[in-house]
Structure 1
Amino acid sequence: MAPLVAGSDKPRVVFVHGQGRFGAAAWPYQHRLAGQFDCLFLRRHGYAPTAAPLPTDFQADMHIVLENLGGGGHVVAHSRGAISAMMAAVERPELVQSLTLFEPACLSLTADLPATRAHRERLASLYAARAELTDEQYQHEFSRLMFGSQAGPLRTREERRAARRLRLQEAPWTAPLTIVPGLPTLVVTGGWEPLYEEVGEYLATTGATHRHAPGHHRPQDSAEGHRMLLEFLRRHQQQ
C-alpha cells in the first residue's frame, strides 16, 4: 500500500486502526490534529472498503505502517493495530519517533499472564472452529464470548462484510511480537477490562508510560485521551 498523502513539512503521524472502524473513520477525534501534523489514517491489510475482506497478515500490516512513515514520524495505534505498530518499530526503529498505543491487543507479550490466559482459554476453540462456521454464526458466538451479548442479524452488505472480516482475523496472541527497547511509548487504557490493563502494566515494566482515560475500549475518543496523545506528540516532536 503506497503512502496516502504526499510529503509535508509538518511532523508525520501514522494512525493504525483496530478491528472495527478503519481509515479516517476510526479516528474521529484526531482529525483536528491535521493543522499541526501530517496525519495519515491507514487501512490495514484486508480492510479495503469495496474489496472482499482478507485474512490477517501481520507482516503485510507492518509494511503498510513502514511505507506510510516515509522518512519517519510518530505511530499511534488502537487495539489490534498496536501489533503492526510495535512490529514496525522493532523492524525499523530509526523511523519511529514515538509510539502511542490505545488499549493495545498485544496479547502475545502477556500470553502466560492471568487475564490473557483466561481470554485465550475462552476464545481458543472458537478460533479453531472458524472454517466450519458461517460468518453470522461466528459473529454471534464471538459477541457472546467477548461481551456476553447476542449479535443481531446481518442486514446490510457492510454488516456482512464486517462479519466476514471478523471471522478472518487471526488470534492476536499468535502475533510475532517483541519489546521495542528505548522508544518513547505511551499506553492509554480505559480501566474497564483486566485484559488491556494487563498489557498496559506489562509494557510499563519495559519502559512505557501507562495512563488511563475514559472511553472504555476507545479512550482516544475522550477529551482526556486526546489531550494525552497531543501532549505526548509535542513532547517527542523533533525540532
Structure 2
Amino acid sequence: MHKQRVVFVHGLDSFGAAAWPKQHGVALSHDALFLRRRGFDPVAEPVESDLRADVGIIVESLSEIGGGHVVAHEQGAVSAMLAAVEHPHLVHSLVLVEPACLSLTAELPATAAYRSLMAPLFDVRMQLGDADYEREYFRRAFSAAAGWQDTPEARRSARRLRLQAPPWEAPLHIVPGVPTLVLTGGWEPLYEEIAAYLQETGALHRVAAGGHRPQDSAEGDRMIRSFIAEVGRSMSAQAS
C-alpha cells in the first residue's frame, strides 16, 4: 500500500523544505513533497507572482498520485484553497496555517483595516525600489523594521516580496466536504478573523504558539500531523 501524499505550500519567507523545518519527519509516514511556488528559486531572479501557476503546481503534484493532503502557510494558503475549490476530488484535506485568504473576509473589520493600510502600498509597488518596498511592507504589516543585509539572497528576497500580488484578489469560496484545519498563532486579529470565518463554515480551528509561524512550535507540528493522520485513517476505513 502506497503512502498518502502530503504537499506543503510555503508562504512569503523561506520556501521548499526550508519553509517547513519541523515537518521534515512527515516523510517517514507519508509521501511528502515540499513545493516551490512560481518565482521562488535560490538562484534565478524572481518573477511576478502568478496564482494560476501556483495552483497548477499544486494540482500537478496531487494528480500524479490521485490526490493527497495539502498543508499551506500564509499566501500559499490562497493557492492551496483555490486548488481545493477547483479540484476537490484531489484534496483529501487542507491545513491552512495563518492563511492570507482575505477575499473570504473582505467585509469584516480586521480584513478591511488591513486592506486599507496595505492597498496604497501595493498600488505603487512597481514604482518603488525593492529594499524601500520591503521596509515599508514590514512596517505596515508587522509594525517592525525589516532586517536588511546587502547580499544576493537578501536582494532576491526583497524583489520577490515586491512582486507578490495582493492576497485579497483571489476568487475564493468555501469548499464543502474537504476536511480543513486552520492553525493560527493567536497574535494577530486579521488571521484570527479569517480562521473564525472558516470555522463558522465547517473548518476546525486550533491555536498554537509561534506567532506567524505556529507550524514551527512542537504543539503546532503535533496538531498538523494529528489532523492529517486522523483524516488518513478515516479514508482508509472507508476504503476497506
Q: Which residue of 1 aligns with 2:178?
A: 183
Match of 2:56 in 1: 63
Residue 132 of structure 1 and its aligned partner are, at CA, apart by: 1.1
Instruction: Give the aligned partner of residue 122 of structure 2.
Output: 127
- Report SS of the residue matched to 1:136: helix
1:88 counterpart letter in structure 2: A
Distance 1:25 1:185, change over 3 A: same
Q: By how many angstroms is 1:152 displaced? A: 3.8
Distance change >3 Å, CA 153–CA 188, structure 1 → 2 = closer
Please report how far the alpha carbon of residue 168 of structure 1 lies from its aligned counterpart in structure 2 after TM superposition. 0.4
Deviations 1:203-222 (A, max 9, x none): 01110001111111111111
Report the CA distance between 1:181 and its aligned residue. Answer: 1.0
1:130-173 per-position Cα deviation (integer Å, ceiling 9, x unaligned):
11110011011111111222224441000000000000011101
Name the counterpart of 1:4: none
- Cα pair 1:192 1:216 within 8 Å, conserved: yes
Q: Which amino acid aligns with 1:99?
A: L
Q: Which stretch has the larger CA shift, 223-232 or 159-168?
A: 223-232
Q: 1:137 aligns with which of 132, 139, 154?
A: 132
Identical columns (%): 59
SS of match in other structure, 2:7: strand
Give the match for residue 27 of structure 1.
20
What amino acid maps onto 2:60 in structure 1? E
Contact map agreement 1:136 1:154 (CA 8 A) in 2: no
- Name the amino acid aligned to 2:184: T
The answer to whether residue 5 in structure 2 is matched with residue 12 in structure 1 is yes
DSSP-derived class of the 1:236 partner: helix
Deviations 1:39-96 (A, max 9, x none): 0000001112211111111111101000111211100001111001111111111111
Distance, in Å, in 1 between the alignment partners of 2:164 and 2:51 is: 10
Structure 2 vs 1, CA of residues 152 and 13 (structure 1 numbering), >3 Å: closer, same or farther? Answer: closer
SS in 2 for 1:183: coil
The alignment of Structure 1 onto Structure 2 pairs a total of residues equal to 232
Structure 2 residues without counterparts, runs of 5 or longer: none
Runs of 4+ in 1 over 4 A off after TM superposition: none
Instruction: Give the structure-2-normalised TM-score.
Output: 0.94
SS of the residue 1:77 aligns to: strand
Give the equivalent residue in structure 2 for 1:44.
37
Cα RMSD after superposing both structures:
1.1
Match of 1:197 in 2: 192
| 2:212 maps to 1:217 | yes
Q: SS in structure 2 opposite 1:210?
A: strand
Are residues 1:83 and 2:78 paired?
yes
**1:16 partner amino acid:** V
Secondary structure of the structure 1 residue equivalent to 2:104: coil
Distance (Å, rounded) in 2 between the aligned partners of 1:199 and 1:60: 24
The normalised TM-score by structure 1 is: 0.95
Amino acid across the alignment from 1:183: V
Alpha-carbon separation, structure 1, partners of 2:41 and 2:2: 28
Show CA shifts across 1:106-144 (max 9, x none): 001011100000000111111001111100110111111
1:219 partner letter = P
1:94 aligns with 2:89: yes
Q: Which deviates the most, 146-155 or 205-214?
A: 146-155
